[in-house]
Structure 1
Amino acid sequence: MARIELKTPQQLRYMREAGLVVAAMHKALREAAQPGVSLLELDAVSAATIKAHGAKSNFLGYHGFPATVCISVNDVVVHGIPTAEKLKLGDLVTFDCGAYVEREGKQWHADAAFTMIVGGDEHGSTQARQLNKLTEEAMWTALANLTTGKYVSAVGEAVEAVLADYVAEGFAGDIVEEYTGHGIGTAMHMPPEVLNYAAAGRSAKLQPGMVLAVEPIISAGSAQTEILADEWTVVTVDGSLAAQWEHTVAITTRGIWVLTAPDGGVAGLAPFGIKPTPLS
């Protein structure tokens, strides 16, 4: 198994700086994502927010990606490239954001995503609302599971359990398995791989200093996907909606702290009776 980077308390604080930049990107994009705005205009909002906070984009130029944010609309699963396309009332849109700060000669990265319905939930279809609620719930359940689990597999087990509850109530979607969470730190993608489903075999043991990007991705229909000709944009083969939620979370000796949530995850973890522990 590849070596997992464990961070010192000071390095976790650097990552929190990057995490708050990503949180600011989320706030700015959520406010700007109105009917009629183009995806290119939203990328400009993302870029301006990163610059205003003295950080740098870890998406722009990554293996040739041409933007500072992935914007995935409706049946786009992940890695949507911003174009002149304009958002419409009721669209289901995911913003996957990343940034890094440079401290002590190294890059410290953060990565997080959210999905929203343009114009407000009341303008989305019943299916879009259910899918978005399910995916966000799966993410927070997975984060909560990290406080009691012993292995990284606690994430996938939680996502599967939440999906099973929804399926029992009639939901017909599935987990998109080929895109996973990951370790993060001095690079955006690092070991360990964080699966969104339960898999045979033992995964990496959770350890203080570990930082994970937890990101369930769920479709409202088949989980089968394809990559478009731009070699980035991933869509569902059957045209079904897809949603993604993601946070970067630090494992410490005293618990967890969600680095990309402004409140550290307090509100999201409260329903589980869990109080995240601020960094020392």
Structure 2
Amino acid sequence: MIHLKSALEIDRIRASCRIAAEAMLRVEEALAPGVTTLHLDQIADRYIRSQGAVASALGYRGFPRSICVSVNDEVVHGIPGDRVLQEGDILAVDIAVKKDGFHGDMNVTMKAGCVPPKAQRLLDATRQSLEEGLAACTPGQRLGDIGHAIQSYVEARGFSIVRAYCGHGIGRNFHEEPQLLHYGKAGTGRRLQNGMVFTIEPMVNEGEHETRVLDDDWTAVTADGKLSAQYEHTVAVTNDGPDVLSRFADLPY
């Protein structure tokens, strides 16, 4: 069952996204070689709590931290800890927030210092693939149109789309229907309707799309050890086009 959101509910989700985006900015400002991923988690958690909100990830199905930080070949669900970031690392920072009963979710891949050209190309392609998916979020389109737009863009640039993880509906629950694949065939899947709210969060690999999960039962890494990147926004489908709830004119995301 997909719950179509009212204007009030969409505003509540946007408010949670705003806190996530502000926390993201504080993480990015603190990011530098020599910093631990746990330090970044603590910065985000402190800010989220200061806004009277909670981190959606903390305790979710036993996840032990407030944000996910996935470094280099880590695809998703990286657990912040004592890992010290090195010059040239890339890290996907996933921040989700719950405030006043509603969740908002976003992800940005950041850089520790200067990164090699191949990593920058991966980041650029991943970020633009998200834009390609967002552009397809209009009533009458289908979920498969979004996945097809993302996959086509990514594969044309020699990268691959992770298939093991997907976007999801969001609102009163952290994860709701519909599930949104970042690959697929145009003209397939559920038709988009005004009031749908979901995340689009393509994970793009430098090499093959296969992944495996580490012994911590959370961190997914690329099977071939090559780099992975991710960007994510929460978006509402409206009759006026996509309303990106986690994007703000005064913030870089």
Please give the TM-score of this superposition, normalised by the length of structure 2. Answer: 0.95
CA 1:144 to 1:153, structure 2 compared with 1: closer, same or farther past 3 Å? same
Q: In structure 1, how many angstroms separate the alpha carbons of the residues matched to 2:128 and 2:92?
A: 15
Asked whether 1:133 is paired with 2:124, we answer yes
Q: In structure 2, how many angstroms separate the alpha carbons of the residues matched to 1:221 and 1:49?
A: 36
1:30 is aligned, of 16, 24, 28, to 28
Unaligned runs of 5+ in 1: 168-172, 269-280
For the residue of structure 2 that corresponds to 1:193, the secondary structure is strand
2:72 is aligned, of 68, 71, 74, to 74
The answer to whether the 8 A contact 1:142-1:158 is kept is yes
Equivalent residue for 2:86?
Answer: 88
The answer to whether the 8 A contact 1:247-1:261 is kept is yes
Q: In structure 1, how many angstroms separate the alpha carbons of the residues matched to 2:46 and 2:92?
A: 19
Deviant stretches of 4+, over 6 Å: none
Asked whether 1:218 is paired with 2:216, we answer no
How far the C-alpha of 1:201 sits from its partner, in A, is 7.7
For the residue of structure 2 that corresponds to 1:5, the secondary structure is coil
For the residue of structure 2 that corresponds to 1:153, the secondary structure is helix
Question: Which amino acid in 1 is paired with 2:60?
Answer: Y
Please give the TM-score of this superposition, normalised by the length of structure 1. Answer: 0.86
How far the C-alpha of 1:144 sits from its partner, in A, is 1.0
Equivalent residue for 1:234?
Answer: 220
CA 1:180 to 1:264, structure 2 compared with 1: closer, same or farther past 3 Å? farther
Q: Could you list the per-position Cα deviations for residues 100-150 of structure 1 after superposition, in whole angstroms to 9, with x for gaps in the alignment?
A: 112xxxx2111110102212xxx2112110111000000011101213761
Q: In structure 1, how many angstroms separate the alpha carbons of the residues matched to 2:46 and 2:40?
A: 10
Q: In structure 2, how many angstroms separate the alpha carbons of the residues matched to 1:201 and 1:142?
A: 14
The answer to whether the 8 A contact 1:79-1:232 is kept is yes
Equivalent residue for 2:166?
Answer: 180
Equivalent residue for 1:251?
Answer: 237
Asked whether 1:194 is paired with 2:176, we answer no
Equivalent residue for 1:159?
Answer: 150
Q: Percent identity?
A: 37
1:206 is aligned, of 192, 203, 209, to 192
Q: In structure 1, how many angstroms separate the alpha carbons of the residues matched to 2:15 and 2:177?
A: 21
